[in-house]
Structure 1
Amino acid sequence: MATIDDVSKRAGVSRSTVSRVVADNGYVSEEKRRAIQQAIAELGYRPNTLAQALRSNRSNMIGAVVVDVGTPYFANMVYGLQRSMRRAGKALMVSSGYADQDEEARAIIELVDRSCDGIVLYLERPLRQDVVEIIRAARIPVVMIGRQGCEVARGSVQLDNFGGARAAMDFLLDQGHRRIVHLSGQADFGDTAARLKGIAAALSARGLGMGDIRIVSGEFSQEFGYAATLALIEEGHDFTAIFAGDDDMAAGVLLALRHAGRAVPGDVSVIGFDDTFHAQHLWPPLTTIRQPVDEIGEAAANLLLKLLAEPGSAMLETVIGTSLVVRDSVGPAQQRRKEREGNVTAVAG
Structure 2
Amino acid sequence: MGRRRPGTPTLEEVAARAGVGRGTVSRVINNAAGVKESTRRTVQRAIEELGYVPNLAARSLAGRRADAVALVMTEPDWRQFAEPFFSEIVSSLGDALSDTGMQLMLTLVRSDAERQRFLEYARGGRVDGVLLMSVHAGDPLPDMLAEARLPTVLLGRRSGDEYVSYVDVDNVGGARSAVSHLLERGRRAIATITGPADMYVTQCRLRGYQEALALAGLEGEQTLVAEGDFTTESGRRAMAALLRRHPEIDGVLAASDTTAAGALETLHSAGRRVPEDVAVIGFDDFPLAQRTTPRLTTVRQPIEAMGRAMVRLLLEEMEEGAVAWRHVILRTELMVREST
Q: Please, what TM-score do these two structures have when normalized by structure 2?
A: 0.74
Is residue 119–residue 144 contact of structure 2 (8 Å, CA) maintained in 1? no
5+ long unaligned stretches in structure 1:
1-21, 28-51, 331-349
Match of 2:130 in 1: 119
Percent sequence identity is 33
Deviations 1:94-136 (A, max 9, x none): 22346x666566555544446211111121242337x744652
Match of residue 274 from structure 1: 284
Q: Is the 8 A contact 1:230 1:256 kept in 2?
A: yes
Residues 150/96 of structure 1: CA separation in 2 closer, same or farther (3 Å cut): farther
Q: SS of the residue aligned with 1:176?
A: coil
CA distance in 2, matches of 1:210, 1:303: 43
Which residue of 43, 47, 65 maps to 1:58?
Answer: 65
Q: Distance in 2 between matches of 1:275 and 1:108?
A: 34
1:87 aligns with 2:87: no
Compared CA separation, residues 193 and 277, structure 1 to 2 (3 A): same
Kept after mapping to 2: 8 A contact 1:101/1:126:
no
SS of residue paired to 1:143:
strand
Whether the 8 Å contact between 1:216 and 1:228 is mirrored in structure 2 is: yes
- Contact (CA 8 Å) 2:70, 2:106: kept in 1 or not? yes
Distance in 2 (alpha carbons) for counterparts of 1:71 and 1:108: 27
Report how far residue 173 of structure 1 moved.
0.7
- Residue 248, structure 1, aligned to residue 258, structure 2: yes
193-202 or 113-122: bigger deviation: 113-122
Question: Quick check: 2:83–2:258 contact (8 Å CA) kept in 1?
Answer: no
2:295 corresponds, among 260, 285, 304, to 285
**1:238 alignment partner AA:** E
Residue type matched to 2:286 in 1?
Answer: T
Asked if structure 1 preserves the Cα contact closer than 8 Å seen for 2:175 and 2:206, the reply is: yes
Aligned pairs (5 A) from 1:37-76: 56-66=63-73, 67=75, 69-76=81-88
CA contact (8 A) 1:161 1:194 kept: yes
Cα RMSD for the two superposed structures = 3.2
Shift of 1:70: 4.3
Instruction: Decide whether aligned partners of structure 1 residues 209 and 278 sit closer, same or farther in structure 2, where only a CA change above 3 A counts.
Output: same
Structure 1 residue 310 displacement after superposition: 1.7
Letter in 2 for 1:57: R
Figure out how many residues of one structure are paired with residues of the other and give that number: 285
Distance 2:116 2:232 in 1: 28
Following superposition, the deviation at residue 319 of structure 1 comes to 0.9
Residues 203 and 258 (structure 1 numbering): CA distance in 2 closer, same or farther, change over 3 Å?
same
| Structure 1 position 308, deviation (Å) | 1.5
SS in 2 for 1:273: strand
Q: Give yes or no for contact 2:171–2:204 (8 Å, CA) kept in 1.
A: yes
- Distance apart, 1:226 and its partner CA: 0.9
Of 194, 209, 213, the residue aligned with 1:199 is 209
Deviations 1:34-80 (A, max 9, x none): xxxxxxxxxxxxxxxxxx96675111111111345543211211222
Larger C-alpha radius of gyration, 1 or 2?
1
Contact 1:222 1:252 survives alignment (8 Å): yes
Query: Does 2:311 correspond to 1:301?
Result: yes
Letter in 2 for 1:127: D
2: CA distance, partners of 1:141 / 1:79: 21
Give matches, 1:1-349, under 5 Å. Answer: 56-66=63-73, 67=75, 69-97=81-109, 107=118, 109-113=120-124, 115-122=126-133, 123-128=135-140, 132-133=143-144, 135-137=146-148, 139-147=149-157, 148=159, 149-150=161-162, 153=164, 155-209=165-219, 211-235=221-245, 237-311=247-321, 313-330=323-340
Question: TM-score scaled to structure 1, two decimals?
Answer: 0.72
